[in-house]
Chain A
Amino acid sequence: MENNGLNKVDLIFEKIDAKQVLSKAFKMSNADIIQNMLDSGLKGRGGAGFPTGLKWKYTAAEKSAEKYIVCNADEGEPGTFKDREILDRVSVKVHGGMAIAGKAIGAKTGIVYLRGEYRYLLPKLMIELDAFHRMIHEIGFDFNIQYRMGSGAYICGEESALFESIEGKRGEPRNKPPYPTVSGVFEKPTSINNVETLVTAMMIIFHGSKNFTQYGTKDSRGSKVFSVSGDTPTPGIFELELGMTVQQFVNEFGDGDTKAVQVGGASGFCVPRKKFAETIIGFEGVPTGGSMKLFNSSRSMYNVLHNYLDFFAEESCGQCTPCRVGCQQLLKGVEKVKKGESKSTYLSELVKLADTMKIAAKCGLGQSVGNAFKSIVSNFKEEIIY
């Protein structure tokens, strides 16, 4: 299916005999499962891109009677809606990935942390989960999955804030170390994986790691589900082989007037037209959890930036200074510049602040506010000032 140099793949939603794949996994040794993940080069699909095999290996190495697999289904990054689709269409593969991961690391319990806004999926998911439990218990898995609901806080997608939330506490990121593989939910070794990662893991068991590595590039193996939105004639969910450039992507999805693409949502990077050709979507270029938002020339990049900063000022947990106060300063700062109440050179002070936030904030949220800010301010300075 060659199209504009894009290779559409059908791995995530591919129909498979789940019982057969899980039976195969059940017969594999734990070390074998983990080795498959390591060989596949699979990196986390939530956006941060930590090698899944390593995560499982570290968690498996921890000595603890109790361990957990947590599926991060909090999908809160603006412009991402792939996990909803995956859970709606192929929940058996999400649950299956959890069971395989559980076996590999020695966890008997899996917890799906589901975004609050996806509650409407729950009745259907519960029915499917019952069937899933019956199936894996027939195979011989000693594994059970439960669902916990989020309540709408963006920060609860951050892994340690998510654990706090599951434990019934205020969703605030923890200090690291210790990392989740050592002390995660309920202070037990935990492997926390994105919805899509778990499905991909199951598909790697199905197809074999060698087949998986045929897709993608050295740093970004395999394919990925993208949530395409914004100024595009074809919004929606698309699974594409990794390694394309933004130009290739825009050629496929743009409306002919694309001036920028926000890759990776509010916490991601804004790629301007002049950098489309040189920028690869993936861990060697701009990484993404799947959010791809296209902007055409009718859009004010000031409004885009303001919208993101407003979002962060609201969704910061408020715990650490750089993020809580920094977001407010960036927001107020660009407003002042736009109104002409601050000099345009004030933007460079704000860029310095964004740099501080990147290195001094406690968690990934605060650290990544600067991504969108700096990439928009540096590429669309005139739109911010005038």
Chain B
Amino acid sequence: MINLTINDQKVAVEPGTTVLAAAKKLKINIPTLCNHDDLCVAGNCRVCVVEQKGARTLIASCATPVSDGMEINTNTLKVRNARKHIVELLLTEHRSDCTKCYKNQNCELQSLANEFAFGDTIFLDLVEDHKYNIDRSSPSFIKDDSKCIRCQRCVRTCSELQQVSAIAVANKGAHQKISSFHEKPMSHVVCTNCGQCVNRCPTGALVEKTYIDQVWDAIYDPERHVVVQTAPAVRVALGEDLGYDPGQRVTGKMVNALKQLGFNSVLDTDFTADLTIMEEGTELLVRLKKALVEGDQAISLPMFTSCSPGWIKFIEHKYPEYLSNLSSCKSPQQMFGALAKTFYAKKRNLDPSKIVSVSIMPCTAKKFEADRPEMRASGYKDVDFVLTTRELAVMIKQAGIDFRNLEEAHYDSIMGDSTGAAVIFGATGGVMEAALRTAYEIVTGREVPFGNLNITPARGMEGVKEATIKIEGCLDAWKFLEGVELKVAVAHGLVNANKIMKMVKSGTAPYHFIEVMGCPGGCIGGGGQPIPTNMEIRKSRMKAIYAEDEHMVLRKSHDNPEVAAIYKEFLDQPNSHKSHELLHTHYVERESY
């Protein structure tokens, strides 16, 4: 242990601990800005400088490891003056149109300004010196360089957490900026629209492209029938933007709030998550049969999941030679969209051209996914508007709803029923677990051999997880699988996706089926989720997801009565012609830069 004193208080910490973390242990708060729990240390904003006795300069507490006998002071006049200067300097290069900014009151720079730089700044405004560019090219987010304070959180997120590196630091000195390859618009580079950078941007330089006004317009238009679907991970995170601690399940209140907002029908993406399991599970079994029994060399294995649009765009850019390994299933959002304007319209006797389909997603990439030209199977745009969890919270606030005191409400029918298998789609490993619960039972007629259906090897925050299930006692139709050891893997965050793709490419991945989610932790850690995020918060949300699953009466997708009904009435059977028309898609090769 290393012994040091901070503000005259003694503390002992492990070697390698930063001064910042040691101070935290003493409950001494040191302001930070470029620092983020999920990212490597940058030490470049300098807001966290403190005084070390005997040192020539102040030290950045986030970047300096403790040493024995160190004497730190976090609150000297020297420190205060320097911090004030630094915050003032940042404000001179930041367009401070706070009252008009989407991040107003949710901006880390604004908080620091409140603390340190109140009153007139003595420094000169630098914003007008630069020809700043607002990049609105992506359907998912807006990049406004005039609000960028060069903390490089976004760059570190994109390179470390996602290994995409769509954005990087360009130029130096006064001209330094965060830019893309050849300064191309974000829509024309390898960006996956995952929104992890948006989730970590301390200011309004990176924000989701919001469609709140369009949704309000639709709601208030008496001609329109507005349906809304909510993704599994939204219900365990929405509360954070409405005053709850992380990890609170607010499903019933959320449904009620959506009804009060005026949506004509409040439905659940979980329904199509269950449907995805039927389609994707069947697809896997068919692929296995063709490969194992018929020896069809053209069948691509391992099969990859296709629910995460960030992952889809990643593989389209970086590993296009493996597109045939992707399940052809659309994501639950897009299955829902296609059915809303066909099956749902028919059942409810509605003109599909009058239906506006809205989805609430933990994700910014979903906005891009809904815009893909392939996603018009119904003859219309299947999903008209995608809102993030954060945008829904904004709408709830705009409507003046007293969320905390709302009664719990139930999803409407039809397309509102779901199972526990669907809700766990929201956490990494959930799709795999849900698929196994169903596939194993289809093949053997028995439940998966895990206590209380909880396939624990697929759970948790490890970057790449793997599991092997030996298939024994097959039903007659599936005898070819008798004794097969089904090998599966789960990866979350594109850095881990990259890891597993390298294994696949080098022939060292022995798997049949691989689940990949683009964001750390899966959808619970999605780019559209409440800010801030860190491992602790994601773990809380994950815990809530599994609690939601346990809480459900039905926990296997094939038990969903509405799923059974839709096959009977509309789709015929999984992977049927109709299914392929509405619920399956194809992918496109994209450039690798």
Is B89 interfacial (CB-CB < 8 Å)? yes
- Across-interface contacts of B129 in A (CB, < 8 A): 328, 332
CB 8 Å contact bits of A312-333 with B (1 = contact, 0 = none) = 1111111111101111110011
Q: How far is the CA of A37 from the CA of B74 in the complex (A)?
A: 39
Residue from A175, A177, A321 in contact with B90 in the complex, judged by beta carbons closer than 8 Å: A321
Nearest to B149 among chain A residues (CB) is A321
Do A315 and B60 have beta carbons less than 8 Å apart?
Answer: no
CB 8 Å contact bits of B139-166 with A (1 = contact, 0 = none) = 0000000000110100000000000000
> Interface centre among B63, B86, B90, by most A CB within 10 Å?
B86
**Residues from 333 to 381 in A contacting B, C-beta threshold 8 Å:** 333, 336, 346, 349, 352-353, 356, 358-362, 367
Is B534 interfacial (CB-CB < 8 Å)? no
Residue from B57, B58, B65 in contact with A177 in the complex, judged by beta carbons closer than 8 Å: B65
* Chain B facing A: main interface SS: loop
Do A322 and B46 have beta carbons less than 8 Å apart?
Answer: yes
Do A356 and B122 have beta carbons less than 8 Å apart?
Answer: no
- Across-interface contacts of B99 in A (CB, < 8 A): none
Do A360 and B172 have beta carbons less than 8 Å apart?
Answer: no
Do B78 and A315 have beta carbons less than 8 Å apart?
Answer: no
Are A329 and B123 also in contact (CB < 8 A) when A318-B175, A318-B176, A360-B58 are?
yes
Do B89 and A325 have beta carbons less than 8 Å apart?
Answer: yes
CB 8 Å contact bits of B31-47 with A (1 = contact, 0 = none) = 00000000001011111
Residue from A318, A346, A352, A358 in contact with B174 in the complex, judged by beta carbons closer than 8 Å: A318
Do B173 and A326 have beta carbons less than 8 Å apart?
Answer: no
CB 8 Å contact bits of B80-113 with A (1 = contact, 0 = none) = 0110011001101100000000000000000000
Do A175 and B64 have beta carbons less than 8 Å apart?
Answer: yes
Do B172 and A153 have beta carbons less than 8 Å apart?
Answer: yes
Are A359 and B57 also in contact (CB < 8 A) when A175-B64, A328-B174 are?
yes
Q: How far is the CA of A153 from the CA of B82 in the complex (A)?
A: 27
A313 to B: closest C-beta gap in Å: 5
Do A324 and B65 have beta carbons less than 8 Å apart?
Answer: no
- Across-interface contacts of B175 in A (CB, < 8 A): 314, 318
- Across-interface contacts of A349 in B (CB, < 8 A): 122
Do B173 and A322 have beta carbons less than 8 Å apart?
Answer: no
Do B58 and A315 have beta carbons less than 8 Å apart?
Answer: no
Residue from A172, A320, A325, A353 in contact with B93 in the complex, judged by beta carbons closer than 8 Å: A325
Residue from B41, B56, B85 in contact with A353 in the complex, judged by beta carbons closer than 8 Å: B85
Do B173 and A324 have beta carbons less than 8 Å apart?
Answer: yes
Are A360 and B49 also in contact (CB < 8 A) when A170-B169, A321-B90 are?
yes
- Across-interface contacts of A315 in B (CB, < 8 A): 172-173
- Across-interface contacts of B21 in A (CB, < 8 A): none
Do A360 and B173 have beta carbons less than 8 Å apart?
Answer: no
> Interface centre among A315, A320, A349, by most B CB within 10 Å?
A320
Do A175 and B41 have beta carbons less than 8 Å apart?
Answer: yes
- Across-interface contacts of B65 in A (CB, < 8 A): 177
- Across-interface contacts of A346 in B (CB, < 8 A): 122
Nearest to B94 among chain A residues (CB) is A325
Do A314 and B57 have beta carbons less than 8 Å apart?
Answer: no
Is A155 interfacial (CB-CB < 8 Å)? yes
B34 to A: closest C-beta gap in Å: 9
- Across-interface contacts of A175 in B (CB, < 8 A): 41, 43, 60, 63-64
Do A325 and B126 have beta carbons less than 8 Å apart?
Answer: yes
Do B60 and A314 have beta carbons less than 8 Å apart?
Answer: no
Do A320 and B124 have beta carbons less than 8 Å apart?
Answer: no
Is B297 interfacial (CB-CB < 8 Å)? no
B88 to A: closest C-beta gap in Å: 9
* Chain A facing B: main interface SS: helix
- Across-interface contacts of A324 in B (CB, < 8 A): 150, 173-174, 176
**Residues from 175 to 221 in B contacting A, C-beta threshold 8 Å:** 175-176
Nearest to B55 among chain A residues (CB) is A359
Is B452 interfacial (CB-CB < 8 Å)? no
- Across-interface contacts of B126 in A (CB, < 8 A): 325, 328-329, 332
**Residues from 278 to 323 in A contacting B, C-beta threshold 8 Å:** 312-322
Residue from B45, B82, B171, B172 in contact with A359 in the complex, judged by beta carbons closer than 8 Å: B82
- Across-interface contacts of B122 in A (CB, < 8 A): 346, 349
**Residues from 101 to 138 in B contacting A, C-beta threshold 8 Å:** 122-124, 126, 129
Do A360 and B57 have beta carbons less than 8 Å apart?
Answer: yes
Nearest to A349 among chain B residues (CB) is B122
Q: How far is the CA of A352 from the CA of B41 in the complex (A)?
A: 28
Do B124 and A333 have beta carbons less than 8 Å apart?
Answer: yes
**Residues from 295 to 337 in B contacting A, C-beta threshold 8 Å:** none
- Across-interface contacts of B60 in A (CB, < 8 A): 175, 362
Do A356 and B86 have beta carbons less than 8 Å apart?
Answer: yes
- Across-interface contacts of B81 in A (CB, < 8 A): 352, 356
Residue from B89, B149, B150 in contact with A329 in the complex, judged by beta carbons closer than 8 Å: B89
Nearest to B62 among chain A residues (CB) is A175
- Across-interface contacts of B47 in A (CB, < 8 A): 321
Do A321 and B173 have beta carbons less than 8 Å apart?
Answer: no
**Residues from 504 to 550 in B contacting A, C-beta threshold 8 Å:** none
Nearest to B81 among chain A residues (CB) is A356
Nearest to B93 among chain A residues (CB) is A325
Do A320 and B92 have beta carbons less than 8 Å apart?
Answer: no
Residue from B46, B89, B92, B174 in contact with A362 in the complex, judged by beta carbons closer than 8 Å: B46
Residue from A172, A320, A332, A356 in contact with B82 in the complex, judged by beta carbons closer than 8 Å: A356
Q: How far is the CA of A317 from the CA of B43 in the complex (A)?
A: 14
Do B49 and A325 have beta carbons less than 8 Å apart?
Answer: no
Q: How far is the CA of A331 from the CA of B540 in the complex (A)?
A: 49
Do A360 and B44 have beta carbons less than 8 Å apart?
Answer: no
- Across-interface contacts of B169 in A (CB, < 8 A): 170, 172, 318-319
Nearest to A320 among chain B residues (CB) is B44
Nearest to B56 among chain A residues (CB) is A359
Do B64 and A326 have beta carbons less than 8 Å apart?
Answer: no
Nearest to B177 among chain A residues (CB) is A318
Nearest to B170 among chain A residues (CB) is A170
A186 to B: closest C-beta gap in Å: 17
> Interface centre among A317, A327, A333, by most B CB within 10 Å?
A317
- Across-interface contacts of A172 in B (CB, < 8 A): 169
B39 to A: closest C-beta gap in Å: 14
Q: How far is the CA of A356 from the CA of B84 in the complex (A)?
A: 10
Do A356 and B85 have beta carbons less than 8 Å apart?
Answer: yes
- Across-interface contacts of B93 in A (CB, < 8 A): 325, 328
B124 to A: closest C-beta gap in Å: 5
- Across-interface contacts of A356 in B (CB, < 8 A): 81-82, 85-86
Do B174 and A322 have beta carbons less than 8 Å apart?
Answer: no
Do B89 and A322 have beta carbons less than 8 Å apart?
Answer: yes
> Interface centre among B57, B85, B90, B152, by most A CB within 10 Å?
B85
Do A314 and B64 have beta carbons less than 8 Å apart?
Answer: no
Do B89 and A314 have beta carbons less than 8 Å apart?
Answer: no
- Across-interface contacts of A326 in B (CB, < 8 A): 85, 89
Nearest to A172 among chain B residues (CB) is B169
- Across-interface contacts of A327 in B (CB, < 8 A): 173-174
Nearest to A329 among chain B residues (CB) is B123
Do A177 and B64 have beta carbons less than 8 Å apart?
Answer: yes
Listed A/B pairs (8) with beta-carbon separation below 8 Å: A319-B150, A322-B46, A322-B86, A328-B93, A353-B123, A359-B58, A360-B49, A361-B46
In the A-B complex, the 7 residue pairs with the smallest Cβ-Cβ separation, listed nearest first, are: A318-B176, A325-B89, A175-B63, A356-B85, A316-B173, A175-B43, A360-B82
- Contacts A322-B46, A358-B57 supplied; 4 other A-B pairs, CB < 8 Å: A317-B172, A319-B44, A324-B176, A327-B173
Instruction: Identify the A interface with B (CB < 8 A).
Output: 153, 155, 170, 172, 175, 177, 312-322, 324-329, 332-333, 336, 346, 349, 352-353, 356, 358-362, 367
